[in-house]
Amino acid sequence: MNIVLLGAPGAGKGTQAAKIIEAYGLPHISTGDILRAAVTNRSLLGLEAKRFMDAGELVPDSIVVGLVKERLSQPDTGKGFILDGFPRTKAQAEVLDSELASVGKTIDSAVAVIVDPEVIVGRLTARRSCRQCGRITSVSEGLSCTACGGALYQRDDDNEATVRNRLSVYEKSTAPLIDYYQAKGLLHEIDGDRPVDTVWADVRAALGA
Ligand code: AMP
């Protein structure tokens, strides 16, 4: 099963992706995670991507598309994958479709997690991640991860100004993909402003499990 997860930054795509991975054992392809790893490794590509990420802008396709193609060519994607954070523009969706078509594949489902933008600003500015285990939590947890004791940190692009810019980039460039996948009959819209497990029950039902 080849799945695209859509939704604004902070809508809960990463959390639902983790549930899908657990239930279906599919590899998770998050372009944000791939780009952040490139930044941490201080690769040339990462350094170039960082200034766009810090401003909340989209990283150019000349960087992102190659990374996704490379990842999709790895053997673990043979039984399916979850794309999280890609595609983010109609041009990326079209490249993805033609890349998959060239190897006889298609996207089977697009799950859009919908949350009100003001709820997202509150969620993202309070979001913290664990440096050690990668768990995502909130500022209310304090300075250390309750699961592993690692240090909690705030992502560089989770400050309010950058969050607002990311949301406007989403509205302009990414939200039109909802119509794109609707027209293909692949779209499942899910209300993401509910408890994680309630959202997950709907995602699971949408995926037919
Ligand atoms: P995310 O973790 O998905 O919120 O992504 C963090 C940042 O990485 C975004 O704000 C963009 O700067 C960049 N990014 C992630 N995915 C893409 C993509 N498909 N196209 C362009 N930029 C991306």
pLDDT band at 8 (very low <50, low <70, confident <90, very high): very high
pTM over 0.85: yes
d(CA 48, CA 91): 21
d(CA 118, CA 122): 7
The predicted-structure confidence for 58-100, as pLDDT tens digits, reads as follows 999 999 999 999 999 999 999 999 999 999 999 999 999 999 9
Question: In a 3-state reduction of DSSP, which class is residue 156?
Answer: helix
Percent of the chain with pLDDT over 90: 96
Å from CA of 59 to ligand 1 middle: 7
The predicted-structure confidence for 191-208, as pLDDT tens digits, reads as follows 999 999 999 999 999 998
**Per-residue pLDDT, 100:** 96
Choose one of 6, 39, 48, 59 to mutate for the ligand 1 pocket test, by most ligand atoms within 8 angstroms of C-beta: 59
Helices marked H in 25-152:
31-40, 44-55, 61-72, 90-101, 117-125
Does the structure show a pLDDT above 80 at 30? yes
- Residue 59 near ligand 1, beta carbon < 6 Å: yes
Does the structure show a pLDDT above 70 at 209? no
The predicted-structure confidence for 67-77, as pLDDT tens digits, reads as follows 999 999 999 99
Amino acid identity for residue 146 in this structure: T
Amino acid identity for residue 191 in this structure: D
Å from CA of 174 to ligand 1 middle: 11
- Residue 24 near ligand 1, beta carbon < 6 Å: no
Which domains, ranges and CATH numbers included, belong to the chain? 2-116+161-206 (3.40.50.300)
- Residue 58 near ligand 1, beta carbon < 6 Å: yes
